[in-house]
Amino acid sequence: MPPNTTATTGDKPAKSGRKKGRKARLIVLVLVLALIGGVAYGGYWSISTVRASFPQTKGSITLDGLSGPVDVKRDGYGIPQIYASSDEDLFMAQGFVQAQDRFYEMDVRRHMTSGRLSEMFGKSQVDNDEFLRTLGWDRIAEQEYEKELSADTKKYLQAYAKGVNAYLRGKDGEDISLEYAALGFTNDYKPAEWTPVDSVSWLKAMAWDLRGNMQDEIDRALLTSRLGPQQIIDLYPQYPYDRNKPIVQEGQYDELSETFEQSGSGGSGGSDGSGDSGDSGSSADGSSADGTTGGTGTGTSSGTGTGTGSSGSALESQLAGLYDVLDDLPTAVGVNGNGIGSNSWVVAGEHTITGKPLLANDPHLSASLPSVWYQMGLHCRKVSAACQYDVSGYTFAGMPGVIIGHNADIAWGMTNSGVDVTDLYLEKLSGDGYLYDGKVKPFLTREETIKVAGGAAKKIVVRQTADKMPLLSDRSDELVKVGRKATVDDGAPDRGNGYAVALKWTALEPGNTMDAVFAMNKAADWDGFRKAAEKFDVPSQNLVYADTKDNIGYQLPGKIPTRAKGLDGSVPTLGWESKDKWGDDYLDFDELPYEYNPERGYIVTANQAVVDPEKYPYTLTTDWGYGTRSQRITNLIKQKIKGGGKVSTDDMRQMQTDNTSEIANMLVPTLLKINLDDPDVREAQDLLQGWDRTQDADSAAAAYFNAVWRNVLKLAFGHKLPKELRVEGQCLWVDPVDTTGPVDDKDKVRECGQRDGDQAQPDGGDRWFEVVRNLMEKPDSDWWTTPEVGTRPGAEKDRDALFERAMIDARWELTAKLGKDIDSWSWGRLHRLFLKNQTLGTSGPGFLQYLLNRGPWKLGGGEAAVDATGWNAAGGYDVVWVPSMRMVVNLDDLDKSKWINLTGASGHVFSAHYTDQTDKWAKGELLDWSFKAKAVDDSTTDTLVLKP
């Protein structure tokens, strides 16, 4: 969410804008030079702007509102452990301490969740604010706070806000962080007081980034402009239940019989993104056997379709407009819902050295600086009715409580379940309303005023359907065209003024997830944990559990819809009939899968399928991760315990850093059989001989294989996808979408990709592993046809010919990037992590970015490896998401647990704790994690006393 101080317009106004832009850049440059000078010579800026914003960590501070003294003990990494004698004091101190280290980050987050980024960063964020205001996260959070949350939760939120505001009291922006000092030169922005709703709103941002298959829903519709239904099925293959086991294998779901019929949303139509109308077309470019372009379809959830042609492709264009809006939103805790994964597993005591469970977790999120996580311990000096908490783990700065971690009795971890809780609906507009069951209903409307730093405020009108679905099309000119051009089936109402696009999402209804956080923090056993999980509405997460009494478990929580028969949420749905809407009919908690003490002695979750659909009556989603990581973790556990072996804490750490490439295991034997004429390419091919398929940072073989994989994907799939999915700037000459016969070269059109590199397709994740696996035994498939690109002629349709070309292209790509001498090649030189401040560090003057950002780090690991340092094969090799933290909890001796964060405790750019954990994180190392009072005291370097 970079601020943009540069105005760019045309002709004479542009000159004025450029002058203003240069002036703004010069102001920031002066600031940067002053900061550099201050740091170098101990001048004014060093003292007043940088060091003055660092937290006080020793001595004492008086805080109004405390009922008793609170101790804040920090270790050598600045990680705080807080000790108090009442719940309110504990959470007030948590707010104060998090604000000391991270208030700027907290402030940006609350402006994002409330759609007020323009107040901080000016007009560049108006479009984002319009979209976020339309979603209305803060309004839902306010309803939750007022009507849904328990009295205790409200009390804790109020105490937390009181602590944040105690930190802010009497401080100007430059006293809080360097970023405010920079903003102060171009903006008169002043931080406002913190509110309880600011904390609750952050849960909506978390839910948005973990919202499920919305991107796949859009992409399947976009694919229909170039591909036929069968080809889309090829690119979204079935989950391999026989090979990659689901999470729940021995579990149950209360109040459901052992035998049942498929019900709920398990309809057959729409899951492949195709429809009944139009011919499928047999070739990869969508042409049918007679040479005409196949009429593809945007499948509705009822299994019918909308033929494309010239008007049908418009729908895909409008959905691309929606993608553009979504992609431009600031990243909250992930890569805008794309490619997000995580690992979490638990091993029972019968298989561990200690005789008690071990639990590991490493959520995979986008890399940010500072990390989204903040490590912290919250301890009551004596656990009692007045002070109920003794918990430690990973928190979100801006929210009280611990999100992932352990208390004295239990530990828990989370991975994204991927359950489908979002649907897009086409709505028939009619005058000032919309058609519903044959009648016109009025929209619910509200006016929003967006304040803009340095500019005039802007007013917008937000429209919602009666069931509170916001019209996303109101925020995108492209989406307005949905109703003007989209072709639908014969049963659709007359187009009239057109169709709109609305969003149905469980997180747009008030819930009580905040209650779940506190309940989980003090749960003492499995029953208490499940009761807490029952309150965990959104986002739906895979929850793994272990306790000190040697029990392990898994629970799927969440508000999960039951759709009408024939609807599965995989593609946009027609919204003008009530029978096609899901309302307030959600699965009961007792109907959700869980598993407790399975005979196998371990539970693995890594975004794979939760259950086998043959053994469960409800459709949770059609878009699971494909289980590559989960099965690798399972195999590592089974290898370790084979013959009675025992798992240690360090074994769990080593499993977290396993970087084996499963796609290499499948492809390398075939690649080694390819006959190559060029000795330089053969030299590169020889790197794969004897390679153990691990992706260490110093591995030349890993560098070459991943380059080959990238080029295989580009040749077989990337050049055949529509522009809306390809990398921005990647231009190809293609047949026009609306052609019905052969096209001469002179009639081809030039289409350039429109997507950011870290969001484009094919991304190379384990869905693409499965796509290629299914095609390996079809060497003559049309997918293996290589198109003519630039001066390179197209190849015959033959798998090995395409592989040969990919190996040649990879050799010369790496020659250009790494040099001709393969002895100098390494995966880490390609696969680099850059940590960027998520606001001022992402654009603007290079000096400011230099001050705020860090890196690069040369990393091992890779896409769909357990050590999931993800990269997007369409866009390049740089790391785009990471294990955002790693932890291993030892339930036999909690003080022997281990943890690490991606960056550090501090959000202050020159603090010693800004990125002091990153080097160890990159090496796969973990830090000691003190919990009990003596261990905390032994590790404490600084103690601050907060006095009433």
Q: Tens of pLDDT along 132-185? A: 999 999 999 999 999 999 999 999 999 999 999 999 999 998 899 988 888 877
Q: How far apart are CA 362 and CA 740, in angstroms?
A: 50
The per-type count for the chain, helices as H runs and strands as E runs, is 28, 29
Share of the chain above pLDDT 90, in %: 61
pLDDT confidence tier of residue 473, bands split at 50, 70 and 90: confident
Q: Is the pLDDT of residue 324 over 70?
A: no
3 state DSSP class of 774: helix
Average pLDDT, integer, range 76-98: 98
What's the chain's average pLDDT?
84
Q: Is residue 882 over pLDDT 60? A: yes
For the segment 673-697, the average pLDDT, to the nearest whole number, is 97
pLDDT of residue 654: 98
Looking at residue 259, what is its pLDDT? 33
pLDDT reading at 260 higher than 50: no
pLDDT of residue 258 exceeding 60, the answer is no
Q: What pLDDT is attached to residue 373?
A: 96
CA distance 615 to 892: 35
Q: Before 787, cis peptide (omega within 30)?
A: no
| 191: amino acid identity, one letter | P
**Spatial CA neighbour of 655 closest among 357, 362, 900, 349:** 362
Q: Compute the C-alpha angle 106/324/874, nearest 5°.
A: 95
Query: What's the confidence (pLDDT) of residue 215?
Result: 76
pLDDT digits (tens, 9 = 90+) for 514-572: 999 999 999 999 999 999 999 999 888 999 999 999 999 999 999 999 887 767 777 77
Average pLDDT (300-321) is 38
Average pLDDT of span 113-126? 91
With contact defined as beta carbons under 8 Å apart, do 397 and 163 qualify?
Answer: no
**For 333-344, what is the mean pLDDT?**
59
User: At residue 489, does pLDDT exceed 70?
Assistant: no
Query: Rounded distance, CA 46 to CA 725, Å?
Result: 46
Prediction pTM value: 0.88
Check residue 293 and report its DSSP letter: B
697 Cβ contact list (under 8 Å, min separation 6): 826, 827, 828, 831, 858, 859, 860
Instruction: Give the 3-state secondary structure percentages of the chain, helix then strand then coil, rounded to 5.
Output: 35, 20, 45
Distance of CA 604 to the CA centre of its chain: 20
Cβ–Cβ < 8 Å for 680, 814: no
Find where tokens 């591995």 sit: 699
- Assess whether pLDDT exceeds 60 at residue 91: yes
Enumerate residues 6+ apart whose C-beta is below 8 A from 839: 1, 2, 3, 108, 120, 121, 179
Q: How far, rounded to the nearest angstrom, does the alpha carbon of residue 531 sit from its chain's CA centroid?
A: 27
More confident residue, 684 or 310: 684
Amino acid in position 629: R
> Among 376-380, 760-764, 782-786, whose mean pLDDT is lowest?
782-786
- For 193, other C-beta atoms within 10 Å of its C-beta total 11
CA 250, 253, 259, 262: dihedral to nearest 10 degrees?
-110
Backbone angles phi, psi at 143, to 5 degrees: -65, -40
Exposed (0-12), middle (13-18) or buried (19+): which is 531, by Cβ within 10 Å? middle
Percent of the chain surpassing pLDDT 70: 80
